[in-house]
């Protein structure tokens, strides 16, 4: 799941300054699950913008809309008949959403209403943790199902750095050392000797470091 955080209201107000008619655009995808960009959050943000603009003596015209997904052109197309009516669109989808909307509707300024932070999962209600950096070459099966790339502060592939204390990371003491967890997990499975393998330097070309990535499924293309 893509996890994000709402931008401060003041920042959004500054982005749409001088724009009379504004659309707050939500997404029913990941940002709904993490409670920053779904239909409920669209209503909250739109109301807050109206109140703030009215207090400032500005036109409070802020409308609301939520798409099934903003990362899919099929759903973005639902804006085709209304996009040109607005002086600005505030997208509270992940970082892909405002880009897709801006690419489709060239004349309307599109502003991001959230900050996309990481790919993770829920530890408990209201708590999410990073679990993946989308490196393009998943190797978690070699480490007891735990990812040293995303969960080690140094992204070490070959054992702990030696600086952890009491099972916690030396860089972020409040974060458990994933290598401590990996050793315990592999030991419990009777696979500890597998960690003696020395892994070569990671090929980051499959990750973002190789430039923007594209996935083509010929069997799905029409």
Tokens 């790919």 found at: 119
Residue 125, in any domain of the structure: no
7: Cβ contacts below 8 Å, ≥ 6 apart: 112, 113, 114, 115
- More reliable by pLDDT, 65 or 166: 65
Alpha carbons 54 and 48: distance in angstroms, whole number: 10
In a domain, 219, yes or no: no
Last residue within a domain, chosen from 117, 143, 170? 117
Which of 86, 117, 148 marks a domain boundary? 117
Mean pLDDT of 58-87: 96
Give 2's strand partners.
119
> Does residue 127 form part of some domain?
no
Identify whether 55 is part of a domain: yes
Within 13 Å, how many C-alpha atoms sit on residue 1's CB side? 18
Strand 2-6 to strand 114-124: parallel, antiparallel, or no bridges (unpaired)?
antiparallel
How many domains does the structure of the chain reveal?
2
* Boundaries of domain holding 159: 135-209
Residue 219 pLDDT > 90: no
122 part of a folded domain: no
pLDDT 10s digits, 152-207: 999 999 988 988 888 999 998 989 999 999 999 999 999 999 999 999 988 888 88
Q: What is the pLDDT at residue 49?
A: 97
The pLDDT score that the predictor gives to residue 132 is 95
CATH code where residue 59 lies:
3.40.50.2300
Which pLDDT value is given to residue 222? 67
CA dist 152 and 118 (Å) reads 14
Task: Check residue 151 and give its pLDDT.
Answer: 94
pLDDT band of 217, cuts 50, 70, 90: confident
| pTM, two decimal places | 0.88
Q: Strands 110-112 and 88-91: what pairing?
A: parallel
Query: Residue 21 falls within a domain, yes or no?
Result: yes
Same domain, 94 and 52: yes
């Amino acid at each position: 799941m893509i996890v994000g955080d709402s931008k401060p209201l003041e920042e959004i107000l500054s982005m749409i300054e001088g724009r009379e008619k504004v659309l707050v655009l939500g997404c029913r995808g990941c940002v709904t699950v993490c409670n920053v960009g779904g239909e409920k959050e669209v209503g909250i943000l739109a109301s807050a913008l109206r109140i703030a603009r009215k207090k400032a003596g500005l036109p409070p015209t802020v409308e609301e809309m939520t798409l099934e997904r903003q990362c899919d052109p099929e759903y973005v197309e639902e804006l085709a008949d209304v996009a040109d009516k607005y002086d600005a669109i505030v997208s509270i989808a992940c970082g892909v959403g405002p880009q897709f909307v801006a690419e489709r509707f060239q004349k309307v300024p599109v502003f991001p209403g959230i900050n996309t932070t990481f790919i993770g999962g829920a530890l408990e209600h209201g708590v999410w943790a990073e679990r993946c950096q989308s490196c393009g070459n998943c190797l978690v099966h070699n480490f007891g199902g735990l990812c040293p790339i995303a969960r080690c502060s140094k992204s070490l592939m070959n054992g702990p750095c030696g600086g952890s204390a009491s099972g916690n990371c030396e860089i972020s003491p409040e974060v458990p050392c994933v290598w401590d967890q990996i050793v315990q997990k592999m030991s419990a499975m009777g696979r500890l000797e597998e960690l003696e393998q020395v892994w070569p330097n990671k090929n980051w070309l499959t990750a973002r470091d190789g430039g923007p990535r594209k996935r083509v499924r010929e069997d799905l293309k029409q």
